[in-house]
Chains A and B, each alone.
Chain A
Amino acid sequence: AQSVTQLGSHVSVSEGALVLLRCNYSSSVPPYLFWYVQYPNQGLQLLLKYTSAATLVKGINGFEAEFKKSETSFHLTKPSAHMSDAAEYFCAVSALYGGSQGNLIFGKGTKLSVKP
């Protein structure tokens, strides 16, 4: 079965510092990969997605992620953190086989805190 692992349940950065949120997936074939963001008391919003086109994907709010097949990774980065980036971030993979084919499988989330 496919799975997603997000390293670090909490990440804290200073405003203006680099944001790096890690995501590794397991899959026997290249999957579709996504990053979603959840602000407090809200639903999830799509940040960006990888669907086998360019390996460097740019999303909203200055975030980007790079698909690295050799490392089975899809880490999310932003060069300079802003206070408004404080939220929980979820990596997700689209299941390619099995009874839930096509459905998203989510990681457990990484809560990002931004210090002034």
Chain B
Amino acid sequence: NAGVTQTPKFRVLKTGQSMTLLCAQDMNHEYMYWYRQDPGMGLRLIHYSVGEGTTAKGEVPDGYNVSRLKKQNFLLGLESAAPSQTSVYFCASSYDSGGTAYGYGYTFGSGTRLTVV
């Protein structure tokens, strides 16, 4: 099925370790997003991309880096993980900004649950 695939689904890191979360979409969407979800905080935008080779900061970008070398992939990196980065991370993609065209909205992946100890 077409959609957004996130890998890995679960990960435990030690403080100071690095890792990369991979997001892949096969819908030819221009826009891609990384959100983090924490209890009582809703979803907060970390970084986003409006097309291949572009990235931009969202609401909570500190401690994260991203790259969009190919249109279908959006990578989220943690260079030196901290316990405050324990969260569930969601990737999403859309045809246009805001997901307003064609009624599809954003398509979300199933999430990566990251624990930093």
- Residues of A at under 8 Å CB distance from B? 9, 32, 34, 36, 41-46, 49, 51, 90, 94-95, 99-109
Question: 6 shortest A-B CB distances, which residue pairs?
Answer: A102-B97, A94-B98, A43-B108, A46-B105, A108-B42, A106-B43
8 A Cβ contacts from B66-117 to A: 90, 92, 96-100, 103-106, 108-111
Q: How far is the CB of A33 from chain B (nearest CB, A)?
A: 10
Q: How far is the CB of B106 from chain A (nearest CB, A)?
A: 6
Look across to chain B and name the residue whose beta carbon is closest to the beta carbon of A35: B105
Number of B residues contacting the other chain (C-beta, 8 Å)?
A: 29
Q: How far is the CB of B116 from chain A (nearest CB, A)?
A: 20
Look across to chain A and name the residue whose beta carbon is closest to the beta carbon of B99: A104
Contact A106 B98 (CB under 8 A): no
Contact B48 A100 (CB under 8 A): yes
Contact B56 A99 (CB under 8 A): yes
Show 22 residue pairs from A and B whose CB-CB distance is below 8 angstroms, ordered by the A residue.
Answer: A32-B100, A36-B105, A36-B106, A41-B111, A42-B111, A43-B108, A43-B109, A44-B106, A45-B108, A46-B103, A46-B104, A49-B99, A94-B97, A94-B99, A95-B98, A99-B56, A99-B57, A100-B58, A100-B59, A103-B58, A104-B106, A108-B40
